[in-house]
Structure 1
Amino acid sequence: MNSKIQYRHTITTLSLGAEEKRDSGDAPKPPEDNFAPARQALAELDCDVLIHAGGISFGQESHYISIFEKQSQRAEHVILWLTSPGGDPDTAYQISRLLQKRYQKVSVFINGWCKSSGTLICLGANELIMDDLGQLGPLDIQILNREEFGERLSGLNPIEALKSISAQSLELLKQQFLNVRFGGGLSTKQALEVATNLTGQLMSPITAQLDIMKYGEFTRSMRIAVEYGQRLAKSCRGNNLKPDAINLLTTGYPSHGFVIDFDEARESLFNEVSEPSENLKLVAKTLQPFVDTWAGGANNSAMIIDVRHALGVPFTLESASNQGNQDDEPNAEVTPASKRKGKPAKERAKNPAQSETADDDSGKNDDEPGQ
């Protein structure tokens, strides 16, 4: 099945399938529009909302570009709802840079897991939006294990191994020195020499198992995370990272799955971490089942959609201006990507069926969501 059709069926035609069952008498009558609460909440938001649910893999950056090209208008602010186990760091960097180039403000909304390369995308954001279940993870880039099919190894493995060996060696050296110095009656110089030799002999079988080439591969992968992180922070309009955040993310946590929650993120890593607004919570509540389904998909599959496009609630200058007047925000006005098309967002939210019909008549590609 074409990937674009998958995205469309995930959101747009799900409610249509329920209506077909209702008409045939196979199912109880459902609500007229299961997505009406999300549409109404989306109409009240003066920003674009994108979803990336699933792995991060090569080629997904092209899908983001396709989304941008189809936007009749674009806000200055975007919220990327990101739920991901991680994936390719090169693609994560490109996605974050694309968002930086096309929007004045980038927010990343996290209400589930966002690990590894997902965390890397967050380094280029102006703001993180997290709830109590949102969790980031360390920047330990995963490397394919050549000895086990389909298995990946964390870039933290050799770092943690060397830390452990170093700590054990120092402790062993200390014990041997004290035993020889005070138990054997040798001088300090003689005791240190004997203790050093004993420690080397005891630890050499362990250090001999280290693969220098593999260690170099792991350290290079970790350097990729550091370099990309520094570049994303530098190109962000208003660096959102605390001074030692990248170093902490790459070497300061013990495991790939280590949970970095709201408090940890705000206190140790990012300057701007906030809770989701009521409207964003309502959008998330409505679409959460689809995000959860795709987030756990195999082979780094992902659902990447423009929520406004999928639900038929386009961003318009009128809705942004009205919202800006209510909130008294100076940056409400935006520069349109092209001439304004369609009805105001709130009107389309009230009558999504008519909006989808109008979109279909416009001659757009039917494979894309919400058209």
Structure 2
Amino acid sequence: MPETSIPDAVAGLYAADPNRDYIVVSHAVSRHLHYKLSSLIASKQRNKACTMFLTTYGGDPNGGYRIGRCLRHHYTQNIRLVVPSFCKSAGTLVAIAADELGIGDFGELGPLDIQVRKASELEESSSGLDIMQALQAVTLHTQVTFHRMLVESRGLGLSTKLCSEFAGQVVSGMAAPLFSQIDPIRLGEMQRAMRVAFEYGSRLDKYGQNLKDGALVQLINNYPAHGFVIDRKEASELFERVSHLTDAEKTFCYAAWESLGSQTDIDPVMVETAQQSNQTGTNHENSGAKVDDGLGTEATGKADPKAGAGVSQRGGNGKKDASRPDGQGVRVRADGVAGTE
């Protein structure tokens, strides 16, 4: 794809559809992100429709639910979620709240099996499905073993009653040690965690109704691993409205790949043209307010008139991004000036 600066890419987004806001989020899903996003939208919202570019490895389902409700509260006309790369776990929960999904060639969603912290391990978690799948595996194994023992012993000419008692004793001795390792309290905790995912997903889907019948249960229960890849083709089997990225979205994602190619944990950004940035800066100057530039320092809120179009906060660290096809990195400064190196 030809090299395009972020200001030109932003201009392309507004040229394609000027009647929506454009938000960039590359961050772990959390209540802190919900707070930052709510504050951003409250101060800079211009339209009742939005496109959010979301890159996340997942996070807190409670935060994901709050973010989904926040978006639906502010943007009542349309919410389009663009997935340039990773949108895993709680990110998929946010995706359920959208009216439509745009998934790039490198984009992927993930299952909704809730991760529960291990009580005996530091900073480790396990899937809410682990115990459930263990129970299913042990149950299936005992059933198969019982049936095989019954049939084989019947072949020896023994009575059905005697064969069933013998098979029952063998299976009981085999299964008891396995079932004794399952903590009923931990089992209840996992079941509640999975119920949380279902309830949050059900509530968020009532807005856009983009999930197909049975898709929520499939997202929670039917994938073998938490990191399982749900690409655009598979997502179209779960969601009603899934599409490729538009040309303008592709151009912007390519230009801002350093922030969107992987989770960078920068604050959410409302993508603005130079004119919008200048207007925002003037409003802040007139009100005497100060604007956090995303770097831990305060700026005057006045946009650089030489900036052209760009985003309003820093995105990335200015280093080259090896994951980008041309190896170039894109940096977006707090003043809205974009550049490559």
How does the TM-score come out when normalised to structure 1?
0.73
| Aligned residue number for residue 190 of structure 1 | 162
Aligned twin of 1:347:
none
Matches within 5 A, 1:109-258: 109-183=82-156, 185-234=157-206, 236=207, 238-258=208-228
1:270 — aligned with what?
239
Report the Cα distance in structure 1 between the residues aligned to 2:251 and 2:151, rounded to whole angstroms.
65
Contact conserved, 1:56 with 1:302, CA < 8 A, in 2? no
Superposed, 1:284-299 pairs within 5 Å as 284-292=253-261, 295=263
Pair 313,153 (structure 1): closer, same or farther in 2 beyond 3 Å: farther
Distance in 2 (CA, whole Å) between partners of 1:43 and 1:80 is 14
Q: CA deviation at 1:60?
A: 2.0
| Partner of residue 338, structure 1 | none
Determine if contact 2:87/2:110 at 8 Å carries over to the other structure.
Answer: yes
Does 1:305 pair with 2:269?
A: yes
SS at match of 1:74: coil
Distance across 2 between alignment mates of 1:39 and 1:251: 39
Tell me the distance in 1 between the aligned counterparts of 2:221 and 2:245: 29
Partner of 2:10: 39
Alpha-carbon shift at residue 359 of structure 1 (Å)? 6.6
**Aligned twin of 1:326:** none
1:203-258 CA-partner distances (Å, limit 9, x unpaired): 11111111111111111111000011111112x1x411101011101111111001
1:193 is displaced (CA, Å) by 2.5
- 1:79 equivalent in alignment to 2:51: yes
Structure 1 CA distance, aligned partners of 2:254 and 2:289?
29
Separation in structure 1 between the aligned mates of residue 161 and residue 255 of structure 2, nearest angstrom:
72
Looking at structure 2, the residues matched to 160 and 188 of structure 1 have their Cα atoms a distance apart, in angstroms, of: 32
Q: Is the 8 A contact 1:37 1:282 kept in 2?
A: no
Could you tell me the percent identity over the aligned residues? 32
Unaligned 5+ runs, structure 1: 1-30, 316-340, 343-354
Give the CA deviation at 1:94: 0.7
CA–CA distance in 2 between the matches of 1:96 and 1:203?
A: 44
Instruction: Compare the two structures and name the one with the higher helix fraction.
Output: 1
Q: Is the 8 A contact 2:110 2:227 kept in 1?
A: yes
TM-aligned CA deviation for residue 85 of structure 1: 1.2
Change (3 A) 1:221 1:80: same
Q: Which amino acid in the other structure matches residue 154 of structure 2?
A: R
CA distance in structure 1 between the partners assigned to 2:229 and 2:212 by the alignment: 18
* Contact persistence 2:52–2:82 (CA under 8 A): yes
Structure 1 contact 97–124 (Cα < 8 Å) conserved: yes
Distance in 2 (CA, whole Å) between partners of 1:252 and 1:201 is: 31
Deviation at 1:34, TM superposition (A): 4.2
**Could you tell me which residue of structure 2 aligns to residue 108 of structure 1?**
81
Q: 1:41 to 1:262 in 2, by over 3 A?
A: same
Task: Give the TM-score taking structure 2 as reference length.
Answer: 0.79
Bigger mean CA offset, 200-209 vs 73-82? 73-82
CA distance in 2, matches of 1:133, 1:58: 27
Corresponding residue SS for 2:269 = strand
Post-superposition Cα deviations, 1:106-130, rounded to whole Å, max 9, x if no partner, equal: 1111121111111111111111110
Amino acid across the alignment from 1:251: N
The root-mean-square deviation of aligned C-alpha atoms, in Å, is 2.3
Q: Which has the higher contact order (CA 8 A, sep 6+)?
A: 1
Moved over 4 A (4+): 358-364
The gaps in structure 2 that reach 5 residues or longer are: 294-311, 314-334, 336-341
Q: Which residue of 2 aligns with 1:366?
A: 291
Q: Distance in 1 between matches of 2:269 and 2:134?
A: 41
How far does residue 366 in structure 1 lie from its aligned partner after superposition? 3.2
The answer (yes or no) to whether the contact 2:54–2:87 under 8 Å persists in 1 is yes
